[in-house]
Structures are given as structure tokens and as C-alpha cells.
Chains A and B, each alone.
Chain A
């Protein structure tokens, strides 16, 4: 396949750029585009053309996604051509040149099975891929297999795939590793199974544990029994050991008690009673002595006390006067101060009066005290004075201001004089505004007209099949859609009929063949008997029989007939034969009835089919004639238009396009009409505006003025005139209003003057009373009023002080009288003493008399109490004496000082008895229930000297036993714990579940490992196989290319072996020196990879439909000379397949020029 043209209709930066790649001279095309010229877009467009536009693309920056279009023309080696378009989309993106979708399969025959990936990898190479390929060769150390395999697929390297696989496999498992997952999982699983075993308790373990524990428990029971017996014996002997000394003490006690037999028993409280009685006796005697001495002392003091009765009777009067004394003293002091204040006030009043009315004496001052009404009147008049005094001046100022404003308004009115009529111009302007921007509308209409013309032109061009002008297109007498549809239907139905007939025919022929085959098959398995055969056999049998009858019954000579009947045999034999034959046929008919029936049926069917076939053939003939006639009629339908029609379906779309073209033509006419009408309007409007302006004396419109700017000027004129009219109207209203205001101000002034005069009359009347002249000002009047007020205040206060001094003096005289009277009565010795001293002394005497009276009462009370106590003590002494006498009787004593001895003896006896009782109680206790006698006899049976030794021995035995039992208990405890651990726990089961989880993970990993490992192995095997198969021819050819590309620096490429005996690539110099890839420069390795790629490509081209080789700027690392060499190689390749070389570099274009005339076609994208 070869690309004849690439149409970059709307793709990336391109619009309608065609690359014509159909060159008879060369297949090597260099497509040059500087930066931004769209080289990469062109490359992508090429790919999109063949394999569709990718869903995500960067090439929509200029044309919308939906409008992306790339077109092209292909030609394959068989000479077929295909012109088509590609749009962006998900399906049906392949279009024919008219834009109708076509099937992808039309394209596939040109691509010869090369899919998108392969086209990019095998038939495309760019610098990046070249560098990757070179790098992979280097990294693989020039491994022949990998290098060839990679070049064979066009991918960078199977090495990377291998490396990934090997890395994954290593991460999963290594034979001697411990970290990879499988290795880890294996040990984890092992550990888990061990844990399961550890947690598992077998039933034997359980039963062993069970039995052992029971044995130990039994052993412990035996120990317990033994221990109990020993303990009993130790207890018994220990008891006897304790009892022996007690028994001895008991004997001694009994002897002592016998000596105290005759002692009188005394009550338990005897001693207490005796002691209490003796104590009482002693105490009462001592108390009587003390009380009597105290009573004597007190009586003596009472007799000595002095209590004056008269004074005590007058104590209320004494107290009252003593209390009043303080008040009298204080009032005396106050009176002095008051007198000083009074003198001061009187002197102040005198001064004030002298200032006001010196002629009036102070004692007559009340004659000039003013009345309250007069004072108020004077104050009120003084207050209103200021307001009345100022008003006339204010009113005068208002009158002056109003007069001046009125003058100003009259001046302004006189100055406004413009009174031109504005209404006509205003009307014209408003009308024009309502029409809007007529000039803009005109511009739009004009642009619509151009675009309508353009579209109409395109529509006519797109019509196809016919050429002419727009008007001619309108005049075309095209067939109607209905006509075309009728033809479409007829032709389609005719086609269907044709194919139906064809199908029927095929069906008939096939059925007929089937029938013939079936019959042949039936016959193969033996001749099928028929009814006709039976009839024939029977006929022959009957003929034979008739001959036999004639010969046998009638005795006729039938020899000749018999020979006719059967020339070979005599009549009898042949007749018999015919009977057998008829029977045989009849038998077979019956036996093979199925086959017979089937054969007959098939025969009949076949006959029917033959007839049917003939009928269909005839129908086909008729149909063919009809179809021909219809086709002609269709052609004729278009003859008048000089069009050779396509099929009706396509002509329908032609008709639609035609209809669209007509519609476009009408649009053009409409648009043009509108432009003319707008032009007229504009002229009329200008003229009207111009004349209106002239009427007002304004300049008329110049030709250069636009309608819009003129309209603005007219609007200015209208606005100015309207403003003047508005101002005149305002002033006309203002002047009368100001005249009224002036008159009102004058009235106010007159009124103010009148009110001031009236005030002056009232004022003169009021102040005369105060002794002031009528001309006195309100301020002066106010000052006199204040002084008068102050004078009368002082006068009034001085009179108050005078009254209070007189009262104090009266009180002091009354007090003195009362004290003298009292002294005469209770203390005549004080007569003639000063009053204050007398009352003080009397008061002191009263206080002493009150204290003596109280002391006397206390003394008399105590003497009475002592008398009662003495009486009580006497009684207690008597009772105690009686008690002592009773106790002597009880203890059988003559005197009470013998009582103590009797008590001591009784106490001794009682102590002995108690100790005996205690001892016997202890014995009973220790004896554990045995009687005293039993104990005594048991004690007699033991030897007190050996007893302790015996007990120690038994105790030692017990301690040994105890130690053994503790050990046993410990053992039982641990066994029990062990046993308790087996409690139905699910630990082992849980661990087993865990182990299964690990196993599941292991399974996943092993499965994966196997696959990864296999994949790597399979790829390795295949690389090796590919190398073995392709190494020879490929390397030879690649070596030649390599020699050319390296300008002879290398002469050849060969496979050599490295240290590990792996085949590797080496370059061979003309000197036979071998250079490994590691020894080559980057550029040289690039050239090495390119050599292998090109050799592989040539190998492909040798046996396949050629596919263009698309090269994208691969010569970046090539110097000029090697670049030229590479261009030579590519030019060479272009003899086998088209080479499309895309580049950014102008230098390469220059170099390409050196290849020679006609060896390369250069296409510049920027032109």
C-alpha cells in the first residue's frame, strides 16, 4: 500500500492542506515543518487517517472535535485505489469523499492485516524509539537473540519484560532464600503445624493424666488416715503431761482448807459496810466543828454594819437632781456663746440698714419691710425687659434683607431673552432615536449578504455531478423526490426479486444435487426393487406359465416360443427361474419396503425439482429484462440535466443538496434586498434632520457627518433651548412671593416699638415703692431687692438668740431651790455649802448606804444555811453508830475494832476454796471429759519421767508425714492444673484454621510463581528460537546497512560469543577487528539498531504487501555525513516501500538535496 495523498482538512493547526505523495519518480517523501509548523500533528493525522482519531487528542485546539477531518488516497500493489475521509468519533468514522460513512473493511484490504500497534512499532520509528532500542542493545550486552527479537517486534526490548518477570519470580521464591514470600510462607506453615501439634491433646494423654491424678488423690487419703492416728496419741499423752502437777496442787489445797473450818462466813458487802460506817462517823464530827466556827464570825460582822434609812427613802430625788446637775452646767456654758452671736448679728443689721436707709433707726426697721406682691411685680418686669428691648432692631434687619432679594430677582428676569421654538427639532430627534442604530443594522445586513453569497457558492460546489452558476442551479428542472423514491423502491424491489430468484435457483440446484446424491447412495447399498420390476417379473412368469400350459395341457409344440422365452435354458428350468425371480422381487419389495418407499419418494421429488428449476430459469430471464428497462428509465430521467445519475439513494441526497443550494440562493436575494432598503432609509432620515437644524439657524449636515454624530449635535441644541425656557418660568413665580415677605417684615417692626413704650410706664410705677427713681434700670432694682432681703434675714435671727438666753437663766434658779430643800431634810450638816458640792456629797452618801444594806442581807442568809447543815450532820452520826453495832453482832465481835481480823480470816478461807475450784475446772478441761478419778488412775499408769521423750518422738513422726503430704498436695495441684487445661478449648482447632489460611496464601503465591517463571522461560526459549531462525540472513543484510550507515567505519555485523558463551553482536572493521557494542559510540549503536530494524523490515517487505515506513526525526545523533548515508539507505528502501520522513531540521532538507534529482520529494508544512 502506498499513500497517494494526505489531506489535512481540519486537523491540529491545519485547514485544508494537502500533501501530494503521488510521485512517479520516488517513494521517499520528506515532510518538513519547523517548530510550531505542525509536524507532530501531521504525523498524528496520518495515524488517525488509517486507524481512527484517538478518543483523547491534543489536535482540537483549532477545530472542534466534531469537525476534525483528515482525508487520504491509498493505492495497493494490485492497483486498487481508495479515497476516503476520517472523522473523530466512536464508530462509523470512515467516510467516503462525499462524507457518507463507509465500512472499515474497505480500508482493511489496503492495510494487509497490520493493526494499529504493529503499524506504530514495526512501520514507525522515532528518535525516542531508536534511542530505546539502542539502549536495550547496550544493556543486553548486544545479546543477539534479544536484539533481533526486539527489532522484529519493533518494541524496545523483551529484556524489560524478562527483567520484570524475573524480579517478580525472585520476590516469590528462591531455592536457598528465606525472605521471598513462598520461602517465608513455607516456614510459617511449618511453624503453624507444629503449634497445632503442641496444642493438641490426644485422648491417651488425657486418660494418662486422669489415671495419674486419681492415684495421687488415693495416696493422699492414706496419709491423712495415718496422720490422724498419730495426732490422737500425741494429744492423749500431752494431756497426761499437763494433768500431773495439777493433781498434786489439789491435794495440798484440801489440807489447808481443813484448818479454817470454824471461820464465820461474812456477806460479800461486809467489809464495804464496815468501812462506810466508820468513814461517816469521822466525817460528821469534822464538819460540825467547821460549821460552828463560821457561824460565829458572820453574826459578829452583821451586828457592826451602818444603814441610814432617811437617805435611802429619798434616793429617787437624790438621783434625779444628781443627774440634772450635768445639764445645768452645760447650759451655763452655752449661754455665753449665744450672747456673743446675738451681739454680732445686731451689728451686721446696723451696717446694712445704714447702706439702704440711714434715716431709719434699727429698732424701727419693720416699717420699711416691703410687701410680697411688690417684690414679685418688680422681678417680673425686670425679666421681660431684655426681650422687649432687642425686638425692634431685629425686625429692621429683616425688612432690609427682603428688599434686596426682590431687586436681584427682577434683574435676572430682565436678562433672559432667547425664545426660539424647540419643538420641531425635538420631534425629529425623537423619531430618529426610535429607529435605533440604522447604520449598524446596515453593516450587519451587508455582512449577512456576503456570508450568504459565500455559503451559496460552497453549496453549488458541493452539489457534485453538475457545474454551473447559482442562477442556473435554480433553473434546473430536477426530478421530484417522489420520482427518485419511486425509482429507488423499484430498483431495490427489482434487486430483491433478483436475489430471491437467484436464491430459489440455488436452492433448487442444491436440492437436486442432494436428491441425485441420495439416489446414488441408495443404489450403492444394492439395487432398489420397484413395482415396475415386480410387474415385469410377474408378466414374464405368466408368459412362461401360458407356454407351459400350452405344452402341458394342450400338448402344443412350443419349442420356438420357448427359445424366444429363454434361449439358454429349457422351458421348465426357465419357467421355474421366472417364478423364483417374481417371488424374489415380491419378497424384496416386502422386505425392503422402507427403502422402496423412500426411493420412490425421492424419485418423485427429483422430478418436481427439475420442473421447478426450469420455471425459475424462465423467471430469471423475465426479471433481467425488466431490471435493464428500469435502469434505462432512471438514466433517462436525468438526461435533460446532463447528469449521469448515481443510484437513487445517492441521488436523493444530491437532491437534498440541490434543495439546500436553492435555499441558499434565496437567502442571498433576501439579504441584498434588505441592504438596499436600509440605504434608502438612511438618506431620508439625514435630509429631515438637516432641514430641521437649518430652521433654527444652526449649520446644516455635512456629507462627512454620520447620522449618529449629527443626531448627537441636534440633541445638544434641543437641550440648550429647553434649559432657558425652564429658568424664565421659575423667576416669574418667585418675584410676587418675595414682595409679600417684605410687607410682613415691616408689620413686625411696628408692633415691637409699641410694646416697649408700654413696659416703661409699668416699670416707673413699680420701683417708686422701693425708694428708687423711675429711671433706675432693672439691674439696679434687683440689687436693692437683694440687700433688703439680707437685712431682714439678720434682724430675724438676732431676735431668736435673745429668747434662748433668757430660758437658760430661768432653769438654773429652779434647780438651786430644789437642792437646798433636799439638804435641809437629809444632810443638815451641809447647809451653807455651794449647791453643786452639796448635791455631789449627798449622792456619794446614798451610794455607800445602798452597799451596806446589800451586805447585811447576804450575811443573814448564810447564818440560816449553817443552822440547817449542823442539824443534818447530827442525824448522819447517829445512823453510822447504829450500823457498826449491827456488824459486830453479825461477826460475833464485842467491839467494832475487832471486825477487821474476822474479815481477814474469812477472806483466806474463801481464796483457798476458789483456787481448788479453778484447779478442778482446769483438770476437767484438760481431761477432755474424763472424770477426776479417771485422770488420777491414768496418771498413775504413766511414768512422768519418760513421758516428754515419748511425746517428742511421736511429734517427729508427724512432721515427717506432714512434709510428705505437702509434696503430694503440690503434685496434685500441678496435675489438676494440667488436667484443667484440657477444657474443651478450641486453641488447636483455631491454630489449624490459621495453618489453612497460610496454606491458602501459599497456594496463591505458588500459582503465581509457576506462571511468572513459565512466562520468563517461554520468552527466553522463543528469543533463542527466533535468533536461530533469523540470525543468518538478517545479520548479513543488517551488516551491509550498518557498513553504509557507518560510512565504512565498520564493514560488517556478526554474531560472536561472550564470556558466558552467549551469542552477542559485534561490529567488524575492515581490518577484521571485532568491536562489541560496549565499545561503540552512542550514535553507532543507534545506527546498529536502525540497521537491524531496516533489515527486518526488508525481510517483511520481501513477502508482504508493502506498508509505508514512517520515520520521525531519527537522525538527531547522526553527524551530517552519517545522516546523508542514512538518507541514502532510506531512499534505497523507498524502492520497496514508500518512506515518509518527518523532520524539524532544515539541515536535513539541505542534505536530502544532495541525494540527487528526483530521489526525494520535499513537502514544506509551513507553506
Chain B
């Protein structure tokens, strides 16, 4: 019997995104998060006395150039060497772009498989053959698995591959292949990488994405870690997922329906956060709080979101003793006042709402409005405006969303002005 660890998408030294600092935020928790997750991996490998560790690509983060990152990796690999644990790595799309590897000398227990053709590495102590091929370039569009050799008889065969399989949401399509195609090779286990979410695609043969070892932003929620595989008599007998992350991303949805005051909402948030804390045990959390529903407190919330953001942060601080980082407060509440009723008023306010409704559906007028930001737009850093969550101030949908919020802001202002009596 032997065990091995299957991991991927370490993206070493890739920074955590979206965490605005504030007083009381657990700033230490995010320092070198990916490094600490990797340390956890090495520790796990040594504790479990695994025979070898597989890294299915994306050890580094593409455009990250710091050679220190490589040196840190060498240090960790050396620990595995001391414990006589072999490490087999293929390069992923990010590694192909990484410049760190060029001059880096990894310890001799580490094997970086060829990226020109499929390579087979035999591990005679455990009767294992590992087949794999890394990425020579950033975008690999052909099915690499096609040219992998067929299984070696009498050995436990593992395929090491960086792929999006038939395509996975949120992940670029690289080295496309199918479950059937992989199954046809006759391997016992396919150790895949690239997709950041744990997924056991198939159990015969085993085809597994272990996910990344540390979530990097609000879209990578939930526990992150590696897969610990136990093999007995030449067959997989257990596939176990182990957490390695040091900071966990959570989406905390709070229903504000029927809440009559901001105090009540804050209380609901407190409860929800408390529940999350209880659920994860000792783990530090990065939480996106999403408040939705129709509430009488909508006006108060809409008028001053910054105040409520601070309020929620304080609540978290109070509750979590620096174990919670409020990543973002997303307010999607609605007024209990019937928008349609106001809209039906044929006075100035009704007419304002009607004009906004009209504007929302008119892309030309929206385009006109975007010119308000002509000065600001070019000054914004590329990191802010590009990417999946990028802020595109010229996109009609962005404008529509902003206009909806602006409408709430106006209603809150004008109606409270009306209540001034």
C-alpha cells in the first residue's frame, strides 16, 4: 500500500485580490497566503509519509517575475527531498509564461516532465508509471492526452495533465479532451489541473481536479486543498480531500426582507457571520456580505453605504476577534415603498423615476452618460478595468447597474427630505 498527493494550481505568490485594508482587518492572515498553503502541503506529505507528490501545472502565476518565489519553492522541495519524497511536475499555461523557471535549479527529487513530448517516469519502489507532458507555450489548444502512451501493464498508471477537459466555467479552454478519451488510455488515475474547483469527474478510471490550494478572490469560495490518494494492490482504495488554505473565501447572503430597521439588519448579518465562523472552526475568513430583500431600512442603507460597510466591519470585528475580513458589502436591498406607485404619481418625483426608467433602456442615452467619466476612465489602472470583474465604465450593463443604485440614492435623499417634518 502507498499514498500520494495530487495537487495543482498553486500559483505561488499570487496576491489575494479584493481585500481592502481597514483597521482591525486580519492583515497578517493574507501575508504570503499561497506560501503558507504550500508549506501546509509539504507538511502533510511528510506527515502522511506519501510516496510522491504530483503537481498538475500552474505552480507559478504567469506574469510574476520575482526569483525569490523560485527560491522559496526550492526550499520547500528540499524538505521533501530530506523526507525522500519524489515530486513530479508538469508546467501549466501559467508556468509556460513564467520566467522564474529559467535559471532555477530544483533539488534532484523533483522531476519536471518534458513539455515537448509525453514523458513517462517510472517509480519502481511502488510500481508506478507517471505519464505527462507540460505546456511549452501559454495557449495549448490541441488535445495533449492523445499522444500519451497506453498504460504499462503490471504497473499503477497515472496521467498528469493540465486541461480544462471539455470546458469549465470561468476557465480558459486549454488542452481540450474528453472523459472517454482519457478512459481509453487504460490508466488508473488521471491527475488533472487547471480548474480551481475540486471535482471528481469520474471514478472509473479516477479523473480528478483537486482545485487550487488557496482561494485567491471572492469567486474562489469554500475549502481549498489537495487530494490524498491511497493505492492498495494496484488499485485506488481511497481518495480523500485535505484542506490546506490559510484564508477562506465565503459569500454570506443575508435576507433583509421584512427588517424594519438597520439595527435589525446588522443583527441578521451578525447571526449569519456567527454561523459561518462556527461552521469553519479556526479558519480565518474573507467574507463578501450580500444583503438583499425589501426593507424599510433600504433608504438608510442606500444613502450611506460607506457607513454601513464600517458598521458591518465593526460587527465582524466584534464577533470574530480578527478572524473575519469583510471583503465587500454588496447592498441589493429594495425599498418597501412601491416603486410603481411612485412611478404612477404624475408629479416631479414620478416623472423623475419615469425618466430614469426610460434612460435605462436607451443605450444611446447611456452612452451619453458614460462621458461623465471620460476624465476618470483613462486614469484607472488596467488591473481595475480588465479581467472578469473588471470595471468597464463604457459598458451599458455597468451603467444600468449604477443607474439603479443612483435611483435608490435619489429616492432616499428626496423622500427623506419629504419626511423632514
B-binding residues in A (CB < 8 A): 113, 115, 117-118, 120-122, 126, 128-129, 132, 148-149, 152-158, 160-161, 164-165, 173, 175, 182, 186, 189-190, 193, 199-207, 210, 982-990, 992-1004, 1006-1015, 1017-1019, 1021-1022, 1025-1026, 1029, 1100
When the two chains form the complex, which single residue of A201, A1006, A1013 contacts B68, counting CB atoms closer than 8 Å? A201
Interface residues of B in 356-401 (CB under 8 A from A): 356, 359, 369, 372-373, 375-376, 379-381, 383-384, 391, 393, 399
Given known contacts A152-B348, A1007-B391, is B18 in contact with A1015 (CB within 8 Å)? no
Q: Do residues A205 and B71 form an inter-chain contact, with CB atoms below 8 A? A: no
A1029 to B348 Cα, complex, angstroms:
11
> Chain B, 389-421, contact with A by CB distance < 8 Å: what is the 0/1 string?
001010000010011011101100111011111
Which B residues touch A210, using CB under 8 A? 103
Q: Do residues A1011 and B21 form an inter-chain contact, with CB atoms below 8 A? A: no
Interface centre among B99, B104, B347 (most CB of A within 10 A): B347
Which B residues touch A120, using CB under 8 A? 418, 421
Q: Do residues A1018 and B406 form an inter-chain contact, with CB atoms below 8 A? A: yes
Closest CB in chain A relative to B171 CB, distance in Å = 21
Q: Do residues B67 and A1017 form an inter-chain contact, with CB atoms below 8 A? A: no
Which B residues touch A993, using CB under 8 A? 15-16, 19, 30-31, 33
Which B residues touch A206, using CB under 8 A? 67, 103
A-B contact pairs, 13 of them (CB 8 A): A118-B347, A153-B347, A203-B99, A203-B102, A984-B75, A990-B31, A993-B33, A995-B15, A1002-B380, A1003-B18, A1009-B376, A1018-B356, A1019-B352
Q: Do residues A1003 and B391 form an inter-chain contact, with CB atoms below 8 A? A: yes
Which A residues touch B34, using CB under 8 A? 989
A1049 to B239 Cα, complex, angstroms:
94
Query: 5 more A-B contacts (CB under 8 A) besides A996-B15, A1011-B402, A1018-B355?
Result: A186-B379, A204-B102, A989-B66, A1017-B372, A1018-B352
When the two chains form the complex, which single residue of A129, A989, A997, A1012 contacts B13, counting CB atoms closer than 8 Å? A989
A193 to B70 Cα, complex, angstroms:
20
Q: Do residues A982 and B417 form an inter-chain contact, with CB atoms below 8 A? A: no
Given known contacts A984-B72, A1003-B384, A1003-B391, is B421 in contact with A155 (CB within 8 Å)? no
Which B residues touch A117, using CB under 8 A? 415, 418-419
A521 to B290 Cα, complex, angstroms:
51
Given known contacts A156-B420, A984-B74, A990-B32, is B348 in contact with A1018 (CB within 8 Å)? no
Q: Do residues A1017 and B369 form an inter-chain contact, with CB atoms below 8 A? A: yes
Whether B138 sits at the interface, judged by CB under 8 Å, is no
Which A residues touch B420, using CB under 8 A? 132, 155-156
Closest CB in chain B relative to A1005 CB, distance in Å = 9
Q: Do residues A200 and B65 form an inter-chain contact, with CB atoms below 8 A? A: yes
Which A residues touch B372, using CB under 8 A? 1013-1014, 1017
Which B residues touch A1026, using CB under 8 A? 348, 351-352
Which B residues touch A199, using CB under 8 A? 66
Interface centre among A115, A204, A989, A992 (most CB of B within 10 A): A989
Given known contacts A164-B413, A996-B16, A1000-B19, is B406 in contact with A1015 (CB within 8 Å)? yes
Q: Do residues B406 and A173 form an inter-chain contact, with CB atoms below 8 A? A: no
9 tightest Cβ-Cβ pairs between the two chains A and B: A152-B348, A984-B71, A1015-B406, A989-B13, A1000-B20, A984-B72, A161-B413, A1014-B406, A1001-B20
Question: Which residue of B has the minimal Cβ distance to A1010?
Answer: B402
Interface residues on B, range: 35 or more
Closest CB in chain B relative to A181 CB, distance in Å = 10
Which A residues touch B349, using CB under 8 A? 153
Whether B306 sits at the interface, judged by CB under 8 Å, is yes
Q: Do residues B375 and A175 form an inter-chain contact, with CB atoms below 8 A? A: yes
Q: Do residues B69 and A989 form an inter-chain contact, with CB atoms below 8 A? A: yes
Given known contacts A982-B68, A989-B13, is B18 in contact with A158 (CB within 8 Å)? no
Q: Do residues B32 and A155 form an inter-chain contact, with CB atoms below 8 A? A: no
Which B residues touch A154, using CB under 8 A? 418
Q: Do residues B418 and A982 form an inter-chain contact, with CB atoms below 8 A? A: no
When the two chains form the complex, which single residue of A148, A1001, A1018 contacts B359, counting CB atoms closer than 8 Å? A1018
Q: Do residues A153 and B69 form an inter-chain contact, with CB atoms below 8 A? A: no
Question: Which residue of B has the minimal Cβ distance to A120?
Answer: B421
Q: Do residues A1004 and B421 form an inter-chain contact, with CB atoms below 8 A? A: no
Q: Do residues A203 and B15 form an inter-chain contact, with CB atoms below 8 A? A: no
Which B residues touch A207, using CB under 8 A? 102-103
Which A residues touch B103, using CB under 8 A? 203-204, 206-207, 210
Q: Do residues B18 and A118 form an inter-chain contact, with CB atoms below 8 A? A: no
> Chain B, 19-55, contact with A by CB distance < 8 Å: what is the 0/1 string?
1110000000011111100000000000000000000
Which B residues touch A200, using CB under 8 A? 65-66
Whether B241 sits at the interface, judged by CB under 8 Å, is no
A1013 to B101 Cα, complex, angstroms:
48
A226 to B154 Cα, complex, angstroms:
64
Whether B344 sits at the interface, judged by CB under 8 Å, is yes
A992 to B383 Cα, complex, angstroms:
12
Whether B321 sits at the interface, judged by CB under 8 Å, is no
A665 to B20 Cα, complex, angstroms:
78
Q: Do residues A1006 and B67 form an inter-chain contact, with CB atoms below 8 A? A: no
Which B residues touch A1018, using CB under 8 A? 352, 355-356, 359, 403, 406-407, 410
A1001 to B313 Cα, complex, angstroms:
14
Given known contacts A203-B70, A984-B68, is B421 in contact with A997 (CB within 8 Å)? no
A538 to B359 Cα, complex, angstroms:
70
Which A residues touch B117, using CB under 8 A? none
When the two chains form the complex, which single residue of A186, A204, A1010 contacts B393, counting CB atoms closer than 8 Å? A1010
Q: Do residues B384 and A999 form an inter-chain contact, with CB atoms below 8 A? A: yes
Whether B242 sits at the interface, judged by CB under 8 Å, is no
